[in-house]
Amino acid sequence: MEHADDRGAKKELRKEPPSGWLYLTQHDAIPILVDALLDLPPNREFNKTELAEHTGVTRQTVGNYTDLLLEVELIEEVPDTSPRRYRVADSDVVRELFKLNSALNSVGE
């Protein structure tokens, strides 16, 4: 039988280095933010306040994770905007998330 210490050690090993999935989802607010991004119409621009309102989290929470969302290519900056505006990125990550979300939504239909 596996001991709790072994499980804990294995769990910690999975975090070093974390997979892309763990890297993205290690923060509590990220699944909510990603879900909200997947719900936006294509090419819809938004600022941090608008994304916070759409998501139901605080603007501070959006601000805390904006760099991460940019880094993993979930959002992109809209050039030449002030205050800074963003949109869902046109990236492989976003396309695959839409596929995953669609597949998960269709389970059991």
Kindly state the helix (H) or strand (E) to which residue 11 belongs, with its residue range: helix 4-14
pTM tops 0.85, yes or no: no
Query: Cα(45)–Cα(76) distance, rounded to whole angstroms?
Result: 10
Q: Within its chain, how far is the Cα of 90 from the centroid?
A: 14
Percentage with pLDDT > 70 across the chain: 95
- Spans of all domains in the chain: 2-107
CA angle 35, 28, 39 (to 5 degrees): 10
Confidence of residue 4 (pLDDT cuts 50, 70, 90): low
Q: Across the strands, what pairs with 88?
A: 75
| CATH class of the region 2-107 | mainly alpha
pLDDT at 59: 97
**Cβ count near 75 (within 10 Å):** 23
